[in-house]
Amino acid sequence: MAQRRLSSVLAMDVAGFSRMMHSGRDELLHALDEIFRSTVRPKVKAHSGRVVKLMGDGAIVEFGSARDAVLCAAEIQERMGSAPAPYDYPERLSLRMGVHAGDVTVSEGDIFGEAVNVAARLEAVAPEGGIFVSKLVTDLAGSGLPVRFRNEGTHRFKNIEEPLQVMSVDASGEDTASEAAGLEKGQDIRFAKSADGVRLAWTAVGNGPPLVRAPAWISRLDMDWRLPLLGHFIRAFSRSNKFIHFDARGNGLSDREVPEISFKAMIEDLRAVFDAAEVERATILGMSQGCAVAAAFAARYPERVSGIVMVGGFPLGRSKRPVKKDQEKASAMQTMLKVGWDDEYPSLRDMMADMIVPLASVEDRRDFAEAMRNMITAEMISSYRKALDEIDVTDILPGIKIPCLVLHCDGDRMHPAEQGRLMASLLPDARLVTYESSSHIPSVNDPCWPLMKSEIERFLGQCATD
């Protein structure tokens, strides 16, 4: 009797198989047998998969999880590209692979359904030695993989009704979970003291021109590496810069019980970290309210700032915006955060995670929501939210003469793109770049992340040479 279940399907075949059959049939078939015996089957078994069927030059493999399917595909391709090759054939063979997830129908050991069809379509357009996966697979697999994904655009396939967002798998080792673990293990957490005596936990990683992250939302230094909000920013920019960041007052490893939560205090806290890290002049990375903090800091201490990167920023907090609905939302959110911060799933923290990093995997958003409970108390988050809603830097922006890179997603539900445009329009030396995304802060799986990363790298290079 046929059954239905959710599976991740890996389709693979040999690139150029028909051509090679004409030049050496027996040798080719022997090589294929060796590949499946020594490489494919052991890797599939190691990741709890099942070879459903062999099809001359290819195979269909079923997995219970998207994570296992991606890891298995990456490991097979890595082995295929290694030297010496795992087979004896006059020319190196290359596999093409496609991975998709969805319902399959199981009958007499075989599987059928759209997941199989889409995986086969992805495999057919993948480059030699490459892996194409659907965006759904990246969402299900999560971000803690020793691979990264690159956006290959939206594709239409024959007999597939909806267009498909396609990602390729890069297993080169850049931006990997193992790298993150190494950085986390080696971080040296220190404490700065602000003007009113509040202790601020800060750390630095990497070498090169200093890049200081302004205080933004909430964080915790010993968790940030593995969460979808900040970990990929640290890994990406600590390769060429000394990345300095800290937990804002009232949360994380900094003092939790503080005399004041205010925008003014955030500016002075940033100065305290600059001093503690012995940074005379640096580029600042602003994220969310950190953009306004960075701008105010540059206005007060212009000699200490060489440029500002602004991601998802806003010059006006919700309470200061001219629309009454925004003001009402600000008041309601402050109250809701205070009374509902410690709720179990689904909680306000889950809602916040869904709004901040909506394109992170479900698992990563859940981890982020749980981590937020360990970053700040319910009483403090309400006060913190009130301070953010009262931000207004519109008067000071025209006086900031340093270069600024303003980056904003056009579908941002936390702070709309119009706030990014307003920020850029008021700054004398700003360049605005917008992205087609619903993220407030792009996660590593967001298709716009590689584009944003490249923009930031170019800007940092310019600031370093100025």
Predicted local confidence at residue 157, as pLDDT = 85
pLDDT-based confidence at residue 215 (cuts at 50, 70, 90): very high
Mean of pLDDT values over 54-65: 90
For 175-184, 254-263, 290-299, 352-361, which range has the lowest pLDDT when averaged over its residues?
A: 175-184
- With residue 13 as reference, give the H or E element that holds it: strand 3-14
Query: Of 152, 170, 188, which residue is a domain's last?
Result: 170
CA distance readout (Å), 25 to 20, 62, 95: 7, 29, 17
Q: Which two tokens stand for residue 367?
A: 């981890």
Q: Would you give the end-to-end CA distance of the chain in angstroms? A: 71
Is residue 266 over pLDDT 90?
yes
Q: Which two tokens stand for residue 370?
A: 């749980």
Calculate what percentage of the chain has a pLDDT beyond 90. 65
Predicted local confidence at residue 380, as pLDDT = 92
For the residues of 364-400, what is the DSSP string, one character each?
Answer: HHHHHHHHHHTTS-HHHHHHHHHHHHT-B-TTTGGG-
Is residue 332 over pLDDT 70?
yes
Check whether the bond before 127 is cis (ω within 30° of 0): no
**Amino acid identity for residue 38 in this structure:** S
Find where tokens 């691979």 sit. Answer: 147
The Cβ-side half-sphere exposure at 296, using a 13 Å CA radius, reads: 26
Predicted local confidence at residue 185, as pLDDT = 59
- The pLDDT tens digits of the residues spanning 297-316 come to 999 999 999 999 999 999 99
Burial of 161 by CB count in 10 Å (0-12 exposed, 13-18 middle, 19+ buried)? Answer: exposed
Is residue 322 over pLDDT 60?
yes
On whether both 267 and 118 belong to a single domain, the answer is no
Mean of pLDDT values over 229-244: 93
CA distance readout (Å), 101 to 6, 115, 169: 7, 5, 15
On whether both 151 and 200 belong to a single domain, the answer is no
User: What is the distance between the alpha carbons of residues 33 and 37, in angstroms, rounded to a whole number?
Assistant: 6
Contacts of 21 (CB under 8 A, 6+ apart): 28
On whether both 192 and 69 belong to a single domain, the answer is no
On whether both 139 and 182 belong to a single domain, the answer is no
Predicted local confidence at residue 56, as pLDDT = 75
pLDDT-based confidence at residue 23 (cuts at 50, 70, 90): low
pLDDT-based confidence at residue 317 (cuts at 50, 70, 90): very high
User: What is the distance between the alpha carbons of residues 208 and 404, in angstroms, rounded to a whole number?
Assistant: 20
On whether both 263 and 395 belong to a single domain, the answer is yes
Of residues 107 and 201, the one with the higher pLDDT is 201
Residues 341 and 373 sit within 8 Å (Cβ to Cβ): yes
- Torsion-angle region of 16 (φ positive above 0: left; ψ -120 to 50: alpha; else: beta): left
Q: Which residues pair with 7 in a beta bridge?
A: 102
Predicted local confidence at residue 398, as pLDDT = 98
Domain of 256 in residue numbering reads as 177-465
CATH number, domain of 92, equals 3.30.70.1230
Closest CA to 436 of 169, 70, 165: 165
Q: Which residues pair with 243 in a beta bridge?
A: 205, 211
At residue 314, what are phi and psi to the nearest 5 degrees? -150, 135
Contacts of 372 (CB under 8 A, 6+ apart): 218, 349, 352, 353
pTM above 0.85, yes or no: no
Q: Which two tokens stand for residue 86?
A: 């795992």
Residues 122 and 99 sit within 8 Å (Cβ to Cβ): yes
On whether both 32 and 129 belong to a single domain, the answer is yes
Predicted local confidence at residue 108, as pLDDT = 85
Domain count, the chain: 2
Mean of pLDDT values over 376-402: 95
pLDDT-based confidence at residue 86 (cuts at 50, 70, 90): low
On whether both 159 and 184 belong to a single domain, the answer is no
CATH number, domain of 415, equals 3.40.50.1820
User: What is the distance between the alpha carbons of residues 24 and 87, in angstroms, rounded to a whole number?
Assistant: 14
Predicted local confidence at residue 11, as pLDDT = 96
User: What is the distance between the alpha carbons of residues 461 and 455, in angstroms, rounded to a whole number?
Assistant: 10
On whether both 289 and 239 belong to a single domain, the answer is yes
**Amino acid identity for residue 233 in this structure:** F
CA distance readout (Å), 302 to 59, 278, 305, 355: 61, 16, 6, 33
User: What is the distance between the alpha carbons of residues 406 and 72, in angstroms, rounded to a whole number?
Assistant: 39
User: What is the distance between the alpha carbons of residues 203 and 285, in angstroms, rounded to a whole number?
Assistant: 15
Q: How many residues appear in the chain? A: 466
On whether both 155 and 201 belong to a single domain, the answer is no
User: What is the distance between the alpha carbons of residues 458 and 238, in angstroms, rounded to a whole number?
Assistant: 14
pLDDT-based confidence at residue 464 (cuts at 50, 70, 90): confident
Predicted local confidence at residue 236, as pLDDT = 92
Q: Where are the alpha helices (DSSP H) in 174-227?
A: 177-186
Of residues 122 and 81, the one with the higher pLDDT is 122
**Amino acid identity for residue 332 in this structure:** A
On whether both 327 and 249 belong to a single domain, the answer is yes
Query: Of 154, 170, 186, which residue is a domain's last?
Result: 170
pLDDT-based confidence at residue 249 (cuts at 50, 70, 90): very high
Find where tokens 């329009």 sit. Answer: 425
User: What is the distance between the alpha carbons of residues 178 and 189, in angstroms, rounded to a whole number?
Assistant: 20
At residue 294, what are phi and psi to the nearest 5 degrees? -65, -40
Query: Of 153, 170, 187, which residue is a domain's last?
Result: 170
User: What is the distance between the alpha carbons of residues 245 and 453, in angstroms, rounded to a whole number?
Assistant: 18
Predicted local confidence at residue 2, as pLDDT = 73
Is residue 184 over pLDDT 80?
no
On whether both 125 and 184 belong to a single domain, the answer is no
On whether both 402 and 258 belong to a single domain, the answer is yes
For the residues of 224-274, what is the DSSP string, one character each?
Answer: GGGSTTTHHHHHHHTTTSEEEEEPPTTSTTS-SS-S---HHHHHHHHHHHH
* Average pLDDT of the chain to the nearest whole number: 90
